[in-house]
Amino acid sequence: MMNNTVLIIEDEEDLLELLEFTLQKEGYETIGFLSITSQVKKILDEEKIDLILIDRNLPNIEGTTFVKEIRNSGYQNPVIYLTAKDKPTDILDGFEAYADDYITKPFNINELLARIKAVIKRSNKECDTLKVKDILYNFANKSFSIDDKLLDLTHLEHNLLLEFLKNQNILLSREHLLENIWKDSIDKQEKTVNVAIKRLKDKIDPDGSKNYIKAVRGEGYIFC
């Protein structure tokens, strides 16, 4: 019996119910929404979502826009667009917007099930790693590498770099880093953050040519 969870975002209520019923009959767990709300992001934070099945024509935001937003926030869940947008340019746009597959309406339910199974199977083989730019993180052995060369990081540097990779292109304040990386450490000062990031930058970008981590004066740091 499968225990994969599919997040479905589809604004046609009858179709949403059909998709949930069909997937549950196949052994999947489903969580359904008729639109993008703050609750969707909360689910992504709190649940292990193995696949996002999303329409593009949603009432408050275009599906590809939402997927781009969550990708830029570090979410790597595989995505299948299920949509009436079926022009060749639409399909290309979908794949440029992080589609793992693109299915147009009307669709064959058995083909949909087969594609869902294929995407989840493929992504499960890849989920042990996180790749941002040329930095690869292996969750199994908690190691970072650049161009197949392992990085020698301290525990603190490991947690700091992982936090940046999960939040690519998001400005992280020193307060955020202290709260999430240093936590209850007695050495919890803003200058501590500056020193730690300088040491990390020296290890991941010794000649400064890649400029992974940028300081924003008076605000914090951003990995881009």
Same domain for 216 and 141: yes
Task: State which amino acid sits at residue 195.
Answer: V
The C-alpha atoms of residue 98 and residue 68 are separated, in whole angstroms, by: 7
Q: Is the CB of residue 94 less than 8 Å from the CB of residue 7? A: no
Domain final position from 62, 95, 127: 127
State the residue range of the domain holding 196. Answer: 130-223
Give the CATH number of the domain where residue 90 resides: 3.40.50.2300
Same domain for 44 and 59: yes
Same domain for 13 and 119: yes
The C-alpha atoms of residue 24 and residue 95 are separated, in whole angstroms, by: 27
Entry field: residues in the chain:
224
Same domain for 211 and 139: yes
Q: Show pLDDT as tens, one digit a residue, over the chain (224 residues).
A: 347 999 999 999 999 999 999 999 999 999 999 999 989 988 988 888 999 999 999 998 999 999 999 988 778 899 999 999 999 999 999 999 999 999 999 999 999 999 999 999 888 765 577 888 889 998 878 899 998 899 999 999 999 999 999 888 899 999 999 988 988 776 667 789 999 999 999 999 999 999 999 999 989 999 98
Domain final position from 111, 127, 143: 127
Give the CATH number of the domain where residue 148 resides: 1.10.10.10
Domain final position from 85, 104, 127: 127
Structure tokens at 141: 């052995």
Q: How many domains does the chain have?
A: 2
Same domain for 146 and 101: no
Structure tokens at 125: 């083989």
Q: Is the CB of residue 95 less than 8 Å from the CB of residue 64? A: no
Same domain for 49 and 38: yes
